[in-house]
Chains A and B, each alone.
Chain A
Amino acid sequence: MTMKKIIKNKTLLVGILILLVLSIYDISLGIKSLKSASFQILSMLKIVPPIFLLIGLLDVWVPRETMIKLMGKKSGVLGIVIAFLFGTFAAGPLVGAFPVAMIMLKKGARYANVIFFLMTWASSKLPILFYQSTTMGLKFTIVSNVTLIVVYLVGSLVLEKSFSKKELDALYEHVEEMAK
């Protein structure tokens, strides 16, 4: 990154500023923050190669018509099932899901399905479910995840409804620009 880009990147500036204030208050806190930030970046980099490889392959091999058929406006239950499967068989933090969701939208997937995919990725990934049941107990895991999936299903449709057609078109346009 060049200096100009760093200055333009507001989140980075805010982060550096907080880090400075924190370090002045207590230098060990600043060092600890940097250490855990680099640990987080490293653990993310581990899942970056397969995710971006899959995104690239998805982009060249899956035609827009196929994605519309599988996850588009008229995909119905099939679209929901596919969104769920993509979300639950995922690995890594939610940020990893953003670029995948971006490609889905770019290829014409329905907004509600993509939101359902993001929510499933966030809460109900299989590895998390296993880990959750061994720590928090099976009953808690089943009760909370069944509730979540129902709320997410309804919620993703409500979210979609709250967008006007114009807003939704603008969102798809924005994503297409991002995914270029």
Chain B
Amino acid sequence: MDISTIILYILALVLLIVSFIKDRKKTKMGIKKGWMAFKKILPILIPLFLIVGIILTVISPDMIKFALGENSGVIGVFIGLIVGSISFMPPFVTYPLGVELLEKGAGYPQVAAFVTTLMAVGIVYFTAETKFFGTKSAILRNGLGFIASLIVALVVWGVM
């Protein structure tokens, strides 16, 4: 368990104790509300992670190396943006892969495009996101992530 998860647990626990001391009835209601929210969201999450599992299997780091390693320049940036948008990867896989891509000869802007969209654009999350906030919001938020990633790639190109 990483440090941020531990902090999250400690925070939740401390607040729970404080809440319990202040008002037992309210605390019980809070726990019930949290549980209800979880039960409502679970049917959205299960299929999501099934698709994440499939994408993790089908789009392997080797494929990404192949797609990004050979292509430099503006085309490389766009390939990075698209591959990063459609794939899913936990951060502890993403950044070492980014380093490996750099060592293999990919440029910083191309790698920036890839790792940034990976975090900010989630095509796999899309259906879940529409259920929470509607289609327009989901499209626009992912669009913002995509444009922001493009700008990051350009800034990195200029600065590094």
Contacting pair B160 A54 (CB below 8 A) = no
Q: Is B51 an interface residue (CB 8 A)?
A: yes
A83 to B132, CA, bound (A): 18
Given contacts A38-B53, A144-B116, contact A55 B37 (CB under 8 A): yes
Q: Is A46 an interface residue (CB 8 A)?
A: yes
Proximity string of chain B (123-141) to chain A, C-beta cutoff 8 Å, 1 when within and 0 when not: 0010111011110110011
Which of A29, A41, A127, A147 has a CB less than 8 Å from the CB of B2?
A127
A131 to B93, CA, bound (A): 11
Q: Is A118 an interface residue (CB 8 A)?
A: yes
Q: Is A24 an interface residue (CB 8 A)?
A: no
From residue 139 to 157 of chain B, which have CB atoms closer than 8 A to chain A? 140-141, 144-145, 147-148, 151-152, 155-156
What total count of A-B pairs have CB within 8 Å?
250
Contacting pair B54 A5 (CB below 8 A) = no
Smallest Cβ-Cβ distance to B22: which chain A residue: A61
Contacting pair A175 B132 (CB below 8 A) = yes
Which of B13, B129, B134 has a CB less than 8 Å from the CB of A98?
B129
| Neighbouring A residues of B4 by C-beta, 8 Å | 89-91, 125-127
Contacting pair B50 A123 (CB below 8 A) = no
Contacting pair A57 B19 (CB below 8 A) = yes
22 sampled A-B residue pairs with Cβ under 8 A: A11-B47, A15-B54, A19-B54, A36-B57, A48-B38, A50-B5, A53-B15, A60-B26, A93-B90, A94-B122, A98-B41, A98-B129, A98-B133, A119-B148, A126-B4, A131-B95, A136-B95, A136-B98, A148-B116, A151-B144, A156-B144, A159-B140
Given contacts A11-B51, A22-B54, A151-B147, contact A139 B116 (CB under 8 A): no
Interface residues of B (CB under 8 A from A): 1-5, 7-9, 11-13, 15-16, 19, 26-27, 29-35, 37-38, 40-41, 43-54, 56-58, 90-92, 95-96, 98-99, 108, 111-112, 115-116, 119-120, 122, 125, 127-129, 131-134, 136-137, 140-141, 144-145, 147-148, 151-152, 155-156, 159-160
Contacting pair B53 A139 (CB below 8 A) = no
Shortest beta-carbon distance from B33 to chain A in Å: 4
Contacting pair A29 B57 (CB below 8 A) = yes
| Neighbouring A residues of B38 by C-beta, 8 Å | 48, 52
Which of A14, A44, A60, A148 has a CB less than 8 Å from the CB of B30?
A60
| Neighbouring A residues of B46 by C-beta, 8 Å | 1, 12, 41
Shortest beta-carbon distance from A129 to chain B in Å: 10
Lowest 10 A-B CB distances belong to which pairs?
A37-B53, A56-B34, A50-B12, A12-B47, A91-B4, A135-B95, A15-B50, A52-B34, A56-B30, A11-B47
Shortest beta-carbon distance from A101 to chain B in Å: 7
A91 to B4, CA, bound (A): 6
A106 to B108, CA, bound (A): 41
Shortest beta-carbon distance from B151 to chain A in Å: 5
Which of B34, B132, B151 has a CB less than 8 Å from the CB of A147?
B151
Shortest beta-carbon distance from B24 to chain A in Å: 12
Given contacts A136-B98, A144-B116, A174-B134, contact A56 B33 (CB under 8 A): yes
